[in-house]
Structure 1
């Protein structure tokens, strides 16, 4: 017992104190616990996680709980500084690497100019303000030596934006898939990388030796990026048959990253930029990338970041605000940060034609601190003659107050602007093909993956059109088990909820291989999500997933598949129930794909022959939505699209009539057809033909005549008024497909072609999925 007591209480410096390692671990555990409590309390009022975590650190720190002598003696010890510094360095390396892995490179490339203008405008103006007010701070804080260095740090602290806090805050506010949120993240990355690079350059040009070290740093970063490209290719081939990349390979990648970062740190440079670049340039194909994402995401978002943000708050000490000059310095720095960011960002927003309300939100987000600035502030004592505890407290107080104030205001501003920031592209009819299209393809197993990938391939035929595809693997949860939602590869080896225990099994390997092969061939990145739930609540996960990811159309697999003898066989009745519920409650348009995989529609990419696709247009909002979908498909060079319009003629008469008897609906149909004709048919991207029929029997005859001419039929579910030419049978086997879709999907039609039935999103009370479904 005495030995244990000595190990816990002996700090190793000859004094009777708590072991610094025990202190550090206890402090981290307390920060985690308190931050979760704060998050539960503040989440109902819209406060994001980083704010709660900084508050937890403030509560545990010397401003509140550590004012008590016993608590202060336990937590605040000089010997714990090395442990905290080591933890901070490891955390920075890992989450900057993760930020690089998660960065949306496609969006960043498209909006690099806009993000640069926003990021650099705040950087420049706040740097100027920092330089202008540095003499005031020098006088107030009594800086006597190395005043230029002090002014430089003030400029960097005011100019910087903390990208890790921005990323977490944007994700907590569910803006990470919006253009505004992604623009804020990219701007913060541009800003922070600029600060880090300029700081390194300033240090490099102070001497020849330091400049040589700077070149070595660039060389090491480039070598690690190049080595990773060859290493990942080898790992993916060598570990092809496994669900996960072996932990030894993952550990080796981490060791190389930590080793390079340590060498850079010993040369006096910040490894922030290097770690970010290594993650950004990491090959994004194969299971290596997905395994790294899953392992790092869970560790960092649930443990490292809360502790890191909490420790920033822990260093906030209101007890050091002893005199008026200190309070004035803190107050002026906070005002300069917000004022500079607000003015510069609004000016940049005006130049970029961004709405002022969004400009205010961007300015507040870019005012967040807490990553690069602590590295500037937490210098070794005595390394700069002007450095002392009072200066440290002023600068750290500024960082903490900026983050807390900005985080609180942002959350309330986002709540007030909820309607304007909500997802508006919930259908395709009014969607500009040149703007980003976000789609969600749902599958239940490898049988459905080929059809989903074929649809993704068909939509990605143009270089100018931007499509962001998500593949959601839906896994039925066995009864008497709790529901869980997991990112792909998130379950660790040996976990009690592993794939071997009914969570997808070996299907994951086949889906993984199919997606990897497609990505390797086309360079089109597919984001994979895994959802585990019972069929009773599976539709909620689909609908909420589509809403969170701002999806414009959901694709669902039909509950039947075609056998060799061409008969349609039911997979699971639960799939049909889920489809019906998604159709009713979806927050966007929905398509049900009847995949006749062997003889039907095939992946256009890599195909030697063109895929012939027919769009059947009878009229109504669903048919217009189907026609809107074909805009993207018509741009694919390996797709030959034909628009077939059905017009009704009176029996014993030659008068042509539209299907819909509603004159307003007909006018909308006609206007949309004219626009489509002028843009796609007149330019040769699509063909056009008309079919004149007088009743359903003639429609069936026409469909039978063309059934072998096309590999895919696209049609709207319905949404039109009753018409005799769309009444194709006495009863409907699958009403969720609509009358025409039901006939095309039936065995009676006897076709080799696949069928896509589309329902346009209509905003009604039934679109809310937070309730029971009634058939």
Structure 2
């Protein structure tokens, strides 16, 4: 939202505005929305919606993650539970010393303090998803810490409610509490020992990569309804059964992801608005008077303040920056739908009165509405990786050292082309390559993103997760063994939503100090036709072009690199470089010069020049000429390499030169952007199909192109900490600016120092 609010705030505000306390006072709306019979139907549907919502959230939770969290997470989770509880209850104790004992607020003040200061994993997960922070460092820490906090809060709330029920119902509760506890244990045993094995059987019966049968999904829905009915029958809340069943559903695909995909949109778009509308009927604005406001609001504020402080103290102790600790505290302090459900349960059990419920809802709304925009506008996840590197490019990489590269893989079909590029990159004893392969899997059926390091996950990750990327790992390990120490490959698996996946990739690239990030093009192309298109991958690639802390290469595979297999045969590669001018072309040429050292790679540099510039001395002091001169001195004497210049006067002649390359090369390297004010690119921007590839690469891979080779589109990283130039994938021609060379010189001076 433009104001930085979460979807919960907007939906809740809309529901309360439509309720009987505001717009519902008008007779026409009251008769339409709150007539007894229609309202009863809406309330029934909304209760079904809350049941499915909490079941869905249970499916997304990985309960084993609580046990695997580190000391830092446990410290934050425990402190964010203890301090707000202590703050709010201590303040409530002080208030009870001055309040008259006979009032309803006096009796329920401790419960107001305890439940207003509680945390919720579901609320934190929804907030991070709304703000696209699931893959940020703060987001990952908030997810794991909120799981610990949520478990502690749930145990405390069950104890508190059970104690109050015992006081209210006395003998009746005393005689039935044992049977309720026994029945609850029976329900848990049935879910774990009967229903979960049935769901595991459904998964085994589903072929890999195939969707779940509709009959299986319907059976799970029946289980949800049955568990809810059983919970109500034994005297527990009707939501207990679906929550436990959701936690028991095997996470991820095929079952967990199928359930979440089917339920999420329907619940969030249809059922949740009805829940907020029916909840507004329980909210009576006229009960919010000054006296109760002055009592309840400070209690809720002290609980919120305790959550922020309880989160910040252990975070600062663990050397987290003050701003990040504050943001983490505000995230952990957010409240949402689960809190409203708890408040309504307290109201239903007569633990709090209608006036206290109204005050607690008011406190929830204004505290959440005031804190979440601060998170939205203060926290930038890119700073965590942009500040780790200064200049990580192949052009500026020191010679005869290990070259760290990172590559992303979306499907197993991306593996052979990447191995061929790795083979061409000429790993040697003097300059070995360390390749980090990140297998990207879309997050479905769970809330918390996962990064799996397969070399360090033999004991810490369950066998189901360690089976991810098995074929990819085997292929790269085979190539690594074949190279006898010249290549080191480490495979990681990242399971996260596409909207925030670029943060994970950039953070890993910065931590591994990669000089180039290679990602597949979003269209998998064959020699004659396009096989697959994925718009989320295209959006991800555009994010990476804008935020990556190292150079980026987009590999467009046209089929020929798949046919070559370095694992089984010796291959000879013909590589071409289209060089115009600019940093991206220099980065492409620097990478090609590394390939030129490979005995089975032929490199041809084709420089496109306007006639008035063709006579310029190659050894002049401009960086383009310096690199071209270095290539000619080091490689032209080797017969298999070649260099030629093509004089082109306009875009038409340039297009003709590019079309003449058909059938000549296995791989062409080309820069994405060109700082050029000439007429070579005039009029081409109107016909560009893929702006993220740049004008020249777009001509090579567009739908009407007959070029049958693969293309590696290179963009040089030109950031030093914070970006020197704002990169937009839509712009492949960047006009020259005066301040830019001054900053570039400053960076070079610092590097020399």
Which TM-score applies when normalising by structure 2? Answer: 0.58
- The corresponding residue for 2:218 is 251
- The corresponding residue for 1:469 is 440
**Pick aligned residue for 2:635 from 686, 693, 696:** 693
Query: 2-side partners of 1:526 and 1:255: how far apart?
Result: 33
Query: C-alpha offsets along residues 678-711 of structure 1, whole Å, 9 cap, x if unaligned?
Result: xxxxxxxxxxxxx96344744369xxxxxxxxxx
**Pick aligned residue for 2:12 from 45, 54, 64:** 54
Give 1:562-577 correspondences, 5 Å limit: none
Query: 2-side partners of 1:91 and 1:438: how far apart?
Result: 42
CA shift in 2, pair 1:760/1:312, >3 Å:
farther
Give 1:316-327 correspondences, 5 Å limit: 316-322=283-289, 324=291, 326-327=292-293
Q: Verify the 8 A CA contact 2:121 2:146 in the aligned structure 1.
A: yes
CA shift in 2, pair 1:380/1:425, >3 Å:
closer
Query: 2-side partners of 1:572 and 1:361: how far apart?
Result: 44
Q: Secondary structure at the match of 1:469?
A: strand
1:592 to partner: Cα distance: 0.9
1:469 to partner: Cα distance: 0.7
- The corresponding residue for 2:88 is 130
Find out whether 1:591 has 2:554 as its counterpart: yes
**Pick aligned residue for 1:337 from 291, 298, 303:** 303
- The corresponding residue for 1:300 is 267
Q: Secondary structure at the match of 1:767?
A: coil
Q: Verify the 8 A CA contact 1:438 1:550 in the aligned structure 2.
A: no
- The corresponding residue for 2:377 is 415
Structure 2: gaps (5+ residues) = 167-176, 394-401, 422-434, 446-464, 474-491, 510-516, 592-597, 606-618, 628-632, 644-665, 676-689, 701-706, 736-753
**Pick aligned residue for 1:398 from 353, 356, 360:** 360
Q: Verify the 8 A CA contact 1:613 1:714 in the aligned structure 2.
A: no
Give 1:528-607 correspondences, 5 Å limit: 554-556=519-521, 561=526, 586-587=545-546, 588=548, 589-594=552-557, 595-596=559-560, 598-600=562-564
- The corresponding residue for 2:227 is 260
1:260 to partner: Cα distance: 1.9
Give 1:696-711 correspondences, 5 Å limit: 697-699=639-641
Query: 2-side partners of 1:426 and 1:455: how far apart?
Result: 30
- The corresponding residue for 2:316 is 350
Q: Secondary structure at the match of 1:302?
A: helix
CA shift in 2, pair 1:126/1:755, >3 Å:
same
Query: C-alpha offsets along residues 327-364 of structure 1, whole Å, 9 cap, x if unaligned?
Result: 22222223212221122121122123222212222222
CA shift in 2, pair 1:580/1:283, >3 Å:
closer
1:174 to partner: Cα distance: 2.6
Q: Secondary structure at the match of 1:161?
A: coil
| Aligned Cα root-mean-square deviation (Å) | 6.3
- The corresponding residue for 1:222 is 192
Q: Verify the 8 A CA contact 2:16 2:276 in the aligned structure 1.
A: no
CA shift in 2, pair 1:419/1:183, >3 Å:
closer
1:122 to partner: Cα distance: 1.7
Q: Larger relative contact order (C-alpha < 8 A, sep ≥ 6)?
A: 2
1:457 to partner: Cα distance: 10
Give 1:72-471 correspondences, 5 Å limit: 86-103=44-61, 113-136=71-94, 150=108, 153-200=111-158, 207-223=177-193, 224-236=195-207, 240=210, 244-269=211-236, 275=242, 278-279=245-246, 282-284=249-251, 286-309=253-276, 311-312=278-279, 315-322=282-289, 324=291, 326-379=292-345, 383-384=349-350, 387=351, 389=353, 392-418=354-380, 424=386, 439=408, 441=410, 450-452=412-414, 467=438, 469-470=440-441
CA shift in 2, pair 1:313/1:661, >3 Å:
farther
Query: 2-side partners of 1:627 and 1:213: how far apart?
Result: 71
Structure 1: gaps (5+ residues) = 1-42, 442-448, 473-486, 489-514, 530-541, 563-568, 603-607, 629-640, 649-658, 668-690, 702-711, 722-733, 743-748
Q: Secondary structure at the match of 1:591?
A: strand
Q: Verify the 8 A CA contact 1:140 1:329 in the aligned structure 2.
A: no
Query: 1-side partners of 2:409 and 2:387: how far apart?
Result: 14
1:376 to partner: Cα distance: 3.6
Q: Verify the 8 A CA contact 2:416 2:565 in the aligned structure 1.
A: yes
Query: 2-side partners of 1:755 and 1:49: how far apart?
Result: 42
Query: 2-side partners of 1:424 and 1:153: how far apart?
Result: 46
Query: C-alpha offsets along residues 15-67 of structure 1, whole Å, 9 cap, x if unaligned?
Result: xxxxxxxxxxxxxxxxxxxxxxxxxxxx3333332211111122122432234
- The corresponding residue for 1:501 is none
Which TM-score applies when normalising by structure 1? Answer: 0.57
Between 1:149-158 and 1:122-131, the stretch displaced more is 149-158
Q: Verify the 8 A CA contact 2:420 2:565 in the aligned structure 1.
A: no
Query: 1-side partners of 2:63 and 2:588: how far apart?
Result: 30
Query: 1-side partners of 2:236 and 2:12: how far apart?
Result: 27
Q: Verify the 8 A CA contact 2:308 2:332 in the aligned structure 1.
A: no
Q: Verify the 8 A CA contact 1:558 1:592 in the aligned structure 2.
A: no
Query: 2-side partners of 1:84 and 1:774: how far apart?
Result: 57
CA shift in 2, pair 1:252/1:352, >3 Å:
same
CA shift in 2, pair 1:363/1:718, >3 Å:
closer
- The corresponding residue for 1:673 is none
